[in-house]
Every structure is written in structure tokens, then in C-alpha cells.
Structure 1
């Protein structure tokens, strides 16, 4: 694809082409969300969904010193989240999510929640699991989330969305990953050639496991 040179971010020599693709997509989405949320090492972050965006969020939040609670209904994705540094993993199908997160946080709840699953139930759980003055960011596409303003009002929540990022932020994300020596390539669980596209998309559509990549 031919594009203007000033729209590109140089690929660091320590990054693979696959890592660069992740940074410009799912990993970058997680980075941009955390930039908007203002994450710090003092935060307890609940990450809903441990697909490519959620796993990237788990990896980036731990690298910034936060405590991470990773949630996913898929066992393999929860296991991957532990490998990526999650302090706790939760299956949302087992018990009440907000109560379990409060149990893990001394009754307070998470200070931040990032919803990446694109499921209405995950969005509601994200809103319910944060403590007063907490921050919730919704990036998952495909869900419709209804909420009672009255039930959220007294908790003084900050609720936001986030969509992709600027070239400058993408560059900052890449630099952070290189400086911290983060293994973004570990996101990929499947590698395909272009003539395997049909099989690849059938596999992707199962929405389990990690992230696939086409290589040339």
C-alpha cells in the first residue's frame, strides 16, 4: 500500500513486523485508552476481555506498575493473562463480578476498568466494579450498554470511550514497548500465509485463543 511518508511511524529494529502491526492496532488501542484514563502505578485496573486488546492492556498496565484484574470467559485467555502479568484472573460466569472484585480490593472496588470485550454484560460489570471517583473506559465494539444515571451519579464516576490514537501516541507506545522490553509478539498464537485466508478467518471467528497474523 502506497501512503505519504509523513503518516508512518518508523519500525524500531528490535520490533518485528508482527509487533508493529499489533502496536498499530489492538496494542495501540489499549495504549490510547490508558493515556485517556491517566493510569498510574497506584491504580487497580480491571480489564474486561483478554483478546488481543485486553491482553495488551494487561501487559501495558503491569509495565506501568498497576495491579491488574483480568476477566474473560475463556480459560485459555485467562491463562494467557496470567502469563502477561495479571495479578488476579476472574471468569465472569462464576459469581457476581463486582462482588468478586470488591473482595480482591478490600471492599473498595477497582480504581479503573477497561472494557474490551464488546459485550453488554462486560460494560455493565465494568461500571459496577469501580469504586467512587473511579474511571471506566469502553473500547469494545458491538455492545449496547444501558445504565441508570441515578445509580452512577453519587459514585462520581468518570465514564469515557477511546478510539485508536494519534501518530505521536503510536510512536510513544512503540518506544515504551522497546524501552521496557515487552514481548508483544507473545500476543500471536497463529501465523498464516495469505493463501490460507479462508481457514484463518474461520479460526478467528471462533473468538478464542489469541491473535492471528498473516505473514508474507
Structure 2
């Protein structure tokens, strides 16, 4: 089978791999959709450490194709999402659904330490499988596996956003998902970006106000919208707008930072009377990934519309050259 590999120099290689065979407690998933995530570009350019020999893709979704010993054969054919982190399975973090925060063993991540989903088949522990609700497309299941799930995880870190003015900084796939979720939960959402094409999508995803912060004063726009009170909640998803996040956050405001590199700076003496709560958020637990999928179906949310491009695996070079421009849109590899 062909799989996508990143040499780390801004190119891709389509390499031949043997079809995986499951060992004890493992399954082979026939990949139906594998999303392109913004964090892929850090590995594409070699900015992060990773095993350059592994298959890329950490937003995979598909059907159980084969099972190893210890796995019920009745699972074959089951539609599944994949939680792309692997831990020891027994420590308190793993048992709570956070294998990426495993405390007793070096964690593994698909596309970083072990093969990912940009190939027709993927080998994963059975414990990494999550059920897909009826009505959820494979494309949506892939997005929930990281980008959309990251937005969900950030909102869950914040707590309720109902009846708040929520500012979402950055309207890439994570930011658009955050806009979509916050609006569906009853927030008045201000979507912020420097690209009018992304902002046009934000309005379709439920934003009450869109602001191009390159063309107008963000602080003035938020102040006018809120009658001077500023934002109750801010989600920073771009990794480059931390100063803006703090500038528009009102008293008793809550902010969560998910974007990288995300350099956040403040002087306590200047802001301590604002009574802020500032949080970080990293993806989501396996439990919340499953809840996110259920929520999307229950509220009929348009996650599929995050994708602007679909690709075959043979088009991977063209796909990543397009994605590297970061000029709006999200891509997904589809498999028969």
C-alpha cells in the first residue's frame, strides 16, 4: 500500500508499505477519510521532532477491517473514529481518557511515533477506537479526531459559554469549529481573522459579527458590540494573537489558548483587578471526542463544510503544496 511520508524539508514521499497485520489487542482500520491538520505543516517543514519513517495523518476515520487475538471478531465492519494518542492504559490519566498525558510510559502519537492514517490501512490498539454515531460522515469523524475536537476540548475547558459574548481569534479549521460550537451553545460570537474569505465562512458557521483585524480596530469593534464591557470569553486559536486576546477580554473574563506558538505575556500588577481566568487546552480526551461526535449529530452541525478540498492519496504532493499556502480551507484524503 502507498503511504505519505514527510522527509521534513517541505516535500512528501509516497512510499510503499506492507499492509499491517494485527497483533494481540490490535485492529486494522480500513481508512475512509484522513484529514489534513494545520499542525501537519510543522512536521512537513521539519520544525518539530518526529520519526521521518512513519506514515503521516493523525485525523483518520474508517471501518474495522481485521482484528488480532483478544479482539471480538464481531467488530469487523464497525464504523470508528480513532483517538490518535497511545498511552500505558492503566495510569490515572489514561483511565480518564487522556493517553496523551500518560504518566507512566512515553506516550505515542500517530504520525509522530507510529504510522498514521494517510494510507489505505492503519494499525491501532483496540483501545484507540471510538464509535461513530449514525449520521456522522467519515469526513466529519476525521475532523473531530483533531481540529474540530480541539475546538470542542477548549470550550469544555472554559465551561459554559451560553449567554456570553465570545471572541474567537483565528478562523482556520479549529477557529471555525469553535465559532460553530459556541454559536450552537447560545453565545454571541465575534469571529476574528485577517482573511475575508475565512470570515465569510465564519458568518455561515454562526458568527454574529466578523472582524478583519488587519482592516479595523479589534478592540473598538468588540467594545462597540458589547457596549464597552468587552468579551466574556476569548478563544485564541491562531497562535499569533495573544495580545489581542488579552486586549479584548473584559472583567471576570475567561480565555483559553490553543494556538501555537502562542507567546502570552502580561504584567500581573496591570491586570490583577480584572479577575481573569486564563487557560491552555491541548486537543481533547477520548471521552470528549466521543461526546463531540454525538453533539455534532444531535445538533446537525455542518462539520463537513469545513473541507474546501478533497484529495486522493496519489495527489498528496499537490495537496500539501496547496495546504502549505494556508490561504483558507481544509483538505481531506478520501479512500474507497
* TM-score, normalization by structure 2: 0.62
Q: Does residue 98 of structure 1 match 2:216?
A: no
State how far apart, in whole Å, the 2-side matches of 1:40 and 1:142 are: 25
Structure 1 segment 52-201 matched on structure 2, within 5 A: 52-119=173-240, 122-201=241-320
State how far apart, in whole Å, the 2-side matches of 1:171 and 1:145 are: 31
Residues 235 and 257 of structure 2 are in contact (CA less than 8 Å); yes or no, is this contact kept in structure 1?
yes
Structure 2: unaligned runs, 5 residues or longer: 1-121
Number of residue pairs matched? 214
State how far apart, in whole Å, the 1-side matches of 2:309 and 2:270 are: 43
Number of the residue aligned with 2:159: 38
Shift, 1:145, TM fit: 2.7
Shift, 1:77, TM fit: 0.2
Residues 191 and 199 of structure 2 are in contact (CA less than 8 Å); yes or no, is this contact kept in structure 1?
yes
State how far apart, in whole Å, the 1-side matches of 2:185 and 2:255 are: 18
State how far apart, in whole Å, the 2-side matches of 1:98 and 1:37 are: 22
Aligned Cα root-mean-square deviation (Å) = 1.1
**Where has structure 1 moved over 4 Å in runs of 4 or more?**
none
Number of the residue aligned with 1:22: 143
State how far apart, in whole Å, the 1-side matches of 2:327 and 2:277 are: 31
Using CA pairs under 8 Å that are at least 6 residues apart, name the structure with larger relative contact order, 1 or 2: 1
1:131-183 Cα distance to aligned partner (Å, 9 max, x none): 10100111001232322222221111111100011111111101000100111
Structure 1: unaligned runs, 5 residues or longer: none
Shift, 1:8, TM fit: 1.2
* TM-score, normalization by structure 1: 0.96
Shift, 1:5, TM fit: 1.7
Secondary structure, counterpart of 1:2 in structure 2: strand
Structure (1 or 2) with the greater strand fraction: 2
Secondary structure, counterpart of 1:146 in structure 2: coil
Secondary structure, counterpart of 1:165 in structure 2: coil
Residues 166 and 234 of structure 2 are in contact (CA less than 8 Å); yes or no, is this contact kept in structure 1?
yes
